[in-house]
Amino acid sequence: MIDANLNDPRKMYYSEKFPDQEQNTPALQDKMDPKPDCGEESYKGYNRLEGRRALITGGDSGIGRAAAIAYAREGADVAIQFFPGEEPDAEEVKALIEKEGRKALLLPYDLRDDNAATEIVTRTVDAFGGLDLLVLNAAQQIAQPSLSDLTMKQVHDTFKVNIISMFETVKAAEEHLKPGSAIITTTSVQSFDPSDPLMDYAATKGAISNFTVSLSSYFA
């Protein structure tokens, strides 16, 4: 009988109930239970990004961390922006990038700050000699049970981190991105199926979807 080398996807990943858990900002992936799998042990690279230079926002955890690990294993040098205070997660990613023989750059910046998005581009170009891959992934998500609990300060901060910083980063990066470069944005199901407790977050994700379509037309 032929061995088809199949894996049952129902048994490959964590399927138990997740325990209730919350962290204040700054938050660490290392403290999550169970600890997320971002490909630290499983992702295999094939040098498909050899010689590329990448900047990933929110690159210390979650989707950004998985991208950073994968890009390094595909041959890219990787800079990661992360929220100050989340250095332990960022240092883990740095070690994984360097283990692949690639350059790593840690950028502890709060994207709510003026010029932060511009500075991370400048520092990446200075360190790597250019920029070919821009992954706009950083986001703030804070659930509120009612509209009265949602402060305008939170609304402003969410928009600054989630979409305004994207505009600033792309503007700063445009002169460095040559034909064949890539800009990748992270949006969400919240962009078309918003949840009441995530009203500000969902609004930014809808804006990101629109922004991405506009960018594709502009650069084309």
The catalytic residue positions are: 201
What residues are paired with 108 via a beta bridge?
82
Residue 215 CB burial class (10 angstroms; 0-12, 13-18, ≥19): middle
CB 102 within 8 A of CB 77: yes
Give the distance from CA 181 to its chain's centroid. 17
Give the span between the Cα atoms of 212 and 11, in whole angstroms: 35
Phi and psi angles of residue 133, each rounded to the nearest 5 degrees, phi first:
-130, 125
- Residue 84 to residues 27, 29, 30, 81, 123: CA-CA distances in angstroms? 10, 14, 16, 9, 16
Helix (H) / strand (E) element for 108: namely strand 104-108
CB 198 within 8 A of CB 154: no
The 3-state secondary structure of 49-99 reads CCCCEEEEECCCCHHHHHHHHHHHHCCCEEEEEECCCCHHHHHHHHHHHHH
